[in-house]
Structure formats: structure tokens, C-alpha cells
Amino acid sequence: MTLTVGTRFRGPADSGNGGYVAGLLADGLGTGPVTVTLRHPPPLETSLETTRDDGGVRLHDGATLVAEAVAEREDGDLVSVPPVPVDEARAAARTYPGHTKHPFPECFVCGTTRAHGDGMRLFPGRLGDGRTACVWDVEPTEARAREFVWAALDCPGGWAAPLEGRPMVLGRLTAQVLDTAAAAEACVAMGDYQGTEGRKTWTTSSVYGADGRLLGRARATWIALPQPPR
């Protein structure tokens, strides 16, 4: 089977958003946690080959391994980031650092140049305790689809770190999606900073429905991009 990541679903300008691509790969691997490791930036508008075996799913661009997804037998150390009320999440979004400096302004999930109905427009503002918060106003094209919950679990975690000054890309995401979102639902997406060592940063994230139900939770490993010498 093949999978094509449309240009609409880009993260960096020339590759797919990691959370969204992870969600596509995780489809069909059950309702438990799935770990997706991104080995290479997912190319856009390219027919990518998917292969399945007992260990999970692999995504290839010719001979290049792009990503692999593996179902986890237990939920391990997945934790839920405590939510804030939707009004507080909307207020936090007004302080989103990406409004003034964004390494990937075209990102499908958190890009500031994306219009309503085109991007998800999740703008995670920092709460001062390591957490971020924002609101996902669910568009009809995003409703009742698990890959968009995966996408919403991506950037709110990344922005818990100083992403505006140290660009990072998603390296690995372990997520459990418990429910999907309804059209026009105001969901709260939370991120939490866990630590940094060298080029790696670890975060957790959660998404909650308007009624407070947990839609999904995740932990992520981010890889800082090499910076040009000054």
C-alpha cells in the first residue's frame, strides 16, 4: 500500500508534520499506545510505500526508511498533562511565542500563516510552570479522525521548550488516542516540558474535549536542528 502526505499537511515547508504523519501510520494498530519514530523528514506529494508485519508498520521513500510505528503492549509511563479551562487556554494562546518568531510558520498544526479551515491554528502559550495551553477549534474536515488528535498532541509539547530560539523537529512520539473530536468542538491542548540533554528534548502532551474527556496523551522526543556557525 502507499501513503501520500499532501502539501497542506506540512510542518517545515518541505516535509510533513510529524504528529499528523505519525497518526496516519498508527491507524490500524489498535487502541493502545503506539510509538512512531521518524527516521527521515516525510516528503510531500510523494507516493510512499507502507509495509506491515507483526511488529508494526514501516514507511519508505524508495530505499529510505522514513518512519516506523510499533504498537506498545502497555501504556508505560504515559501521563496526562493537567488541563486548564478553555478561557484560560484561549488567554494563553494570545502569548504564543510563535506570533513573534516562528521557525516553521507554515506548519499545519501551529503555523501562524495558515488560514482558518486550512491549518489547525493551535497556538500554545506558556503558563509559567512548564506547561503550555491552547484551544483546538475543530474544523469539519478534522472531526472524528484520529490522525488529527495525533497532530494536536505534537506542537503543544514542542512549544513547552524554547522552540522559537532553538528550532526542533519531532523525532519520536508515543501516543494513545482514546477518542476523537466533534466538528466545532473547542478542545484544550496541553504540553509540558520534561528536560533537555544535548540536542534532545522531552515533552508530554494531552488533548481534552469540551466536556473534559481525555482524547489523547503522548510523550515526545524532539531533535534540535543543527545551527549554522556564527
Angle at 179 between CA 222 and CA 29, to 5 degrees: 65
- What is the CATH number for 125? 2.40.160.210
Q: H/E element holding 189?
A: strand 186-197
Q: What residue numbers bound the domain in which 199 lies?
A: 2-72+79-224
Is residue 34 situated within a structural domain?
Answer: yes
- pLDDT tens for 162-194 read 999 999 999 999 999 999 999 999 999 999 999
- Give the count of beta carbons closer than 10 Å to the beta carbon of residue 100: 9
- Amino acid code (one letter) for 215: L
Is residue 119 situated within a structural domain?
Answer: yes
pTM score above 0.75? yes
- pLDDT tens for 42-83 read 999 999 999 998 779 999 999 999 999 999 977 668 999 999
Is residue 230 situated within a structural domain?
Answer: no
Integer Cα distance of 39 and 50 in angstroms:
14
Is residue 152 situated within a structural domain?
Answer: yes
Is residue 163 situated within a structural domain?
Answer: yes
DSSP β-ladder status, 131-137 and 125-126:
antiparallel
Residues paired with residue 126 on neighbouring β-strands, in sequence order: 132
State the DSSP code for 24. H
Is residue 229 situated within a structural domain?
Answer: no
Is residue 94 situated within a structural domain?
Answer: yes
> What's the number of domains the chain is made of?
1
Is residue 115 situated within a structural domain?
Answer: yes
